[in-house]
Amino acid sequence: MLMDSGKHQSWAFISMTYDELAHIVETKGLHTQLLTWLHENVSSTFAERFLGDPEQLAERYLLNGPPLATLSLDSEEPTILDILNHNGDAAELGLHQAVKRPTALSSPGAARRLRGCLLSCLPALLRLIQVCEKALGDGSLGDIDALLVCGIYMLPPITTNTFVPDRPQPQFTIAEPGDADNDCSALISKDALISSDEDSRRELVARVSAWPPELRRILCSSLYVTANWLRETINAFADQRSEEIRSKVLVRVNQLSKIESVLVSLATTLGGTAYEFNPISAGLVPEVSDTPVLRNVGSVSGASVNPAVRFSSNSGTNMDVDSTQGG
């Protein structure tokens, strides 16, 4: 598959290539110099495309305050996983044009010519990262533990009050500062989606179910990616010896079940409508045409890592590494 990677024009195929690389590193091993090079290049690409801090997100989006991330396990950790930046539904429905600064809007390029959504590569990239990190660090993931605890950015501060039924193009408007009751990002921020209070969580789902269908589909895409991210971080960090890390893994396991429950509830409200959530059409799951015949290299799975780019908890993210590809 690695030899064929240049012939395919989909993010799904690139994701499977990362999977195969991770399998090779995990089962066959690579020369230390080659492994280090792979680690550096893939991790820098991962950091550039998916990670940020509050200052970087403020430069990317039109915000009326600090970005409101969800599911953070450490209030002092500045690293944020920015799912919104690559949400295909958000781009298709015009949300990016409404909330991104002009300098942050993607220009047509090689990445745009690929079928599907870049977010489909996220779990494979994380797997490749953690496999390389363990190979170079004697099994430890201490240098990338920020990925286990970081918050996730799903929605911008959009108000739900400006939607007009049957409008050809949805109209997204930035919420007024302090208008938390009508600010979509405020409603789902912090731990609202995974509240231990069943009644509170049910009330939140009811409120979100009243959102315009465009916003619900965008949130469904973000929740789907979030569930896959949590699943991959659980798999990555479950074998760590640190009791602190293990306790946070258990928290992520609990959060995963609640996120999946919310996703199912919201996706059900869109069933049979023009905005029905479909992971395949959203580019988050490979289509049959994107799935090649795999060579016999055993079972595969994927993600990537970088010794020069560290995602260590509370240390921020070092982005000063040459990236392998753009936007």
- The yes-or-no verdict on residue 2 having pLDDT over 70 is no
In angstroms, the CA 234 to CA 267 distance is 24
pLDDT tens digit sequence for 125-137: 999 999 999 999 9
> Which residues touch 40 (CB under 8 Å, ≥6 apart)?
306, 307, 308, 309, 321
In angstroms, the CA 307 to CA 144 distance is 10
Mean pLDDT to the nearest integer, 291-312: 41
**pLDDT the model gives residue 70:** 94
pLDDT tens digit sequence for 51-106: 999 999 988 998 877 889 999 999 899 999 999 999 988 888 888 888 888 877 76
pLDDT tens digit sequence for 162-176: 555 555 555 677 877
What totals of helices (H) and strands (E) does the chain contain, helices first? 12, 3
At residue 290 the predicted structure's pLDDT band, cuts being 50, 70 and 90, is low
Average pLDDT, the chain: 81
Weakest-pLDDT range from 8-17, 34-43, 219-228, 241-250: 8-17
φ/ψ of 271, rounded to 5, equals: -60, 135
At residue 214 the predicted structure's pLDDT band, cuts being 50, 70 and 90, is confident
**pLDDT the model gives residue 7:** 54
Weakest-pLDDT range from 138-152, 258-272, 297-311: 297-311
**pLDDT the model gives residue 13:** 81
What 3-state DSSP class applies to 302? coil
φ/ψ of 94, rounded to 5, equals: 90, 5
**Residue, of 160 and 225, whose pLDDT is higher:** 225
Mean pLDDT to the nearest integer, 315-324: 36
- The yes-or-no verdict on residue 306 having pLDDT over 80 is no
Weakest-pLDDT range from 154-158, 252-256, 280-284, 292-296: 292-296
